[in-house]
Amino acid sequence: MRYRTLGRTGVQVSTLALGAMNLGAIGRTTQDDATAIVDAALEAGINLVDTADWYSAGQSEELVGRAIAGRRDDVVLATKAVMPMSDEPNHRGSSRRWLTRALDDSLRRLGVDHVDLYQVHRWDPETSDEETLAALTDLQRAGKIRYLGSSTFPAYRIVQAQWAARERGLSRYVTEQPSYSALQRGVEAHVLPVAQEYGLGVLAWSPLASGWLSGAVRAGRPVTTHRSGVLPERFDLEVPANRARLDAVEQLAKVAADAGLTLIQLALGFVTAHPGVTSALIGPRTPEHLRAQLDAADTVLDDDVLDAIDAIVPPGVDLAPGEKFDEPPALLDAALRRR
């Protein structure tokens, strides 16, 4: 396992990090499954575990907390807030009122007194940066948070938050967590350069493109990934973006085979090759999935392999632009751009 410095924090984290979204109801994993996955990940040298209050309505945090009990100091523990936790309109967002409660709820579920990285899961257009950063700064000074991070922020919002922190003398986000894979490269155009400019650590989520790069989705093979039941539109081959993805996957699989790699090794090696990326967040649902992904821990792609990937999916291009998750609200809601 290789390690890199998380932005400018001085904290060393593994280049593969354990994402816990599939631990719980989403991935149909039990406590025994979760503990086995965490055990194997830590034994392999992974030292960063990332979860969120929203994952399976808090169940992921509970499973992670039990799995790391007794070895908390060996884990760089990250979680997130902002996504809705109930139908109550104030049980979401990045207001001081909600973040204060959400963090206490997360600490209780995790069974810890602090988290190493607390991330704003999505930019909240209803709340000012100053409000959010002031609340997080106070929680950091109270010893409940070591570092602050953002997740899936558009590049211009990353910049705005950095300036708000500087202008008001508040703690700043030291990490960003974008979606990034060989099939979704849009963040190369703006988000990753901005993160590098501000010295942010980058934890890339969905490096296997929601299973498209796991080897489970191939031409002539039925889609068996569990995600097809949750988000079937992402695997419907009647959708042009999905046909484009399938075509790219077939070409990438050949590049991998010619290089003596699995498709998973190629995909994870691609993400960790970018100089702006600190870690790729893998999200195994079973110990078997984890073992296949750990094979990529030391994968370093040659320049000719990276060039071949560029020829299939050009730099800065998203094959499924509708899944960017960081579009400004005015591009999604006509009422926000019309008078």
- As annotated, the active-site residues are 55
Strand partners, 13: 4
The token pair at 93 is: 């967002």
- Burial call 30-68: b when 16+ CB within 10 Å, e when fewer: eeebbbbbbebbbebebbbbbbbbbbbebbbbbbbbebb
CB 116 within 8 A of CB 142: no
Angle of helix 129-141 versus helix 155-168 axis, rounded to 10? 60
Which residues, other chains included, contact 189 with Cβ-Cβ below 8 Å and sequence gap of 6+? Answer: 316
Whole-angstrom Cα distance, residue 315 to residue 189? Answer: 8
Residue from 106, 42, 32 nearest 72 by CA: 42
Angle (CA) 62-66-68 rounded to 5° is 115
Whole-angstrom Cα distance, residue 33 to residue 285? Answer: 8
Radius of gyration of the chain from Cα atoms?
19
Whole-angstrom Cα distance, residue 77 to residue 59? Answer: 16
